[in-house]
Amino acid sequence: MRPVSSLLLYGLLLSLTPLACSQQQPETTSTVATAPPMPTQAQTSTGSVVETFETGSKGAYTEADETLATGTWHFTDALIGSSPTDHKNGSHAARLRGKGRLRMNFNAPSSTRQIRVSAAAFGDDQASTWELWISQDGGRRYVRTGAPVRTTSPRLSVSSFPVSGGNSVRLEIRKTDGSSSRLNVDDIEFVGGTGVATTGSTTSPTLRTTAGNPPIAAIVTSREDNLALGNPSGATSSLDNFSNYLMVKPQYTLSYNRDRGTPNWVSWHLNRAWMGSAPRQDDFRPDPALPRGWYSVTPHSYAGSGFDKGHNCPSADRTTDLDDNSATFLMTNMIPQAPNNNQRTWSSLEEYGRSLVNQGYEIYVIMGNYGKGGTGLNGRAVTLDEGRVTVPARVWKVLVIIPEGADDLQRIAAGQARILAVDTPNDNSIDPDWSRYRVSVDAIEDATGLDLLSALPVEVQDRLEATVDSRMVR
């Protein structure tokens, strides 16, 4: 828990940051009458609503409405494909060509706080660019949300878009490049709460599987909120908040700092449901979810710098399937990390966490960095890529470790948690033994101005955050 004076100072510093000047202008469309809400048969067992396109049969690109499990959708230069070259979960996926569009003729549940869209390049086609537009006034006006997405792979990958609450939402997916390349879209998910499926549904849908993977809905059920311990900096998805921009992904949640070119912090949940046999993808790439006009850090930004592209959420923490592992290689999940820090000290700490999971524990993790200037293979540096990427001075991590079970926050508050906090110098001469750098959560809060573990009761925070772990580490 942060002292009040520190929180006020942190908020003041954010308020002094210059505002971004780009604004998205709404696009007016024809008025669409309000339709009934989504039928409950499209809900997963966790309350998350998913359009799978499995009930559709539209086989031509001609413009028309199609009634699917969630409601009626309007197809423009789009169809429902079922061929072997349609990349899909199950038997069907939407397929768009040219400047094709998919639009809901009804409202999603008012509880929707995130939209996830799975997309892939059709067959062996070249890349496609698409955008997600949302309406919160019954389809009268649509506004683009997030940045354009460039889909290059024939493998379905998930893009996540936060949704502000308070109004009903309907969406339109727009293929914008106008090229001859075709785009597959499948499994459009409307997620309640803070980025995870909400509970309470009594519906038990048929669980679909992809080859070698667990049922999709079962994964949603077992993957709890990556931000369950709280939002340490009060990050938001406002484009004006470019030093503390909230990005919610299925695999982790982060606060991104546009001017540093790195995350402020990344938060995720690790249990056995996230650990499988998917191989390391090594597909480092810019994050397509960054807002339009923001500089996109690339792997080349680190080239020849003497610093590693250091993961926050590790590749080996997300091995259930290829898409999960691939998501950890987005550059918004990276910091310039001294090689010996990344490959020895930090790697050892990550392996220790996974060994605990294999022993029957689950872990809530928050990792971040602060300060400017670190020492890599080529000596000390403050920035990379002509000043666009800041090299942090310190790298920290907090692990909240509990035995596997339910009602995690209640169990943490009840005293079942072990708190492990580590704060290391970003220096290539670092000791490989991470246990030498154990500190209290309070110490990290004092150094960063963050409010860690803020979802817990204040008295619980006071107790846990003052503790410095001293257990024997093997």
Alpha-carbon Rg for the chain in angstroms? 22
Torsional sign, CA 215, 220, 224, 226? positive
One-letter identity of residue 265: W
Other CB atoms within a 10 A radius of the CB of residue 473 amount to: 13
Compute how many other C-beta atoms are within 10 angstroms of the C-beta atom of residue 58. Answer: 21
Q: Name the one residue in this structure whose structure tokens are 């169990």.
A: 411
Q: How far apart are CA 10 and CA 5, in angstroms?
A: 9
Q: What is the DSSP letter of 26?
A: P
d(CA 27, CA 12) in angstroms, rounded, equals: 35
**Structure-token match 């079970």, residue found:** 405
Q: 350: which residues sit within 8 A by CB, 6+ positions away?
A: 314, 316, 317
Among the listed residues 87, 92, 269, 311, the single catalytic one is 311
Closest CA to 283 of 294, 264, 299, 267: 299
Tokens of 295: 């500089």
Distance, in Å, from the CA atom of 145 to the CA atom of 24, rounded to the nearest integer, reads: 9
Q: How far apart are CA 192 and CA 57, in angstroms?
A: 29
Contacts of 215 (CB under 8 A, 6+ apart): 207, 208, 209
Report the Cα 444 to chain-centroid distance in Å.
Answer: 24
Tokens of 97: 């060509």
Query: Alpha-carbon distance 27 to 98, whole Å?
Result: 20
- 357 contacts 318 by C-beta, under 8 angstroms: no
The count of other CB atoms within 10 Å of the CB of residue 28 is 8
Burial class (CB in 10 A: 0-12, 13-18, 19+), 464: buried
8 A C-beta contact, residue 225 and residue 3: no
The whole-angstrom separation of Cα 91 and Cα 299 is 36
Token readout for 136 is 């919160």
**Dihedral through CA 249, CA 253, CA 257, CA 258, nearest 10?**
0
Q: Is 300 a catalytic residue?
A: no
Q: What are the residue numbers of the active site?
A: 311
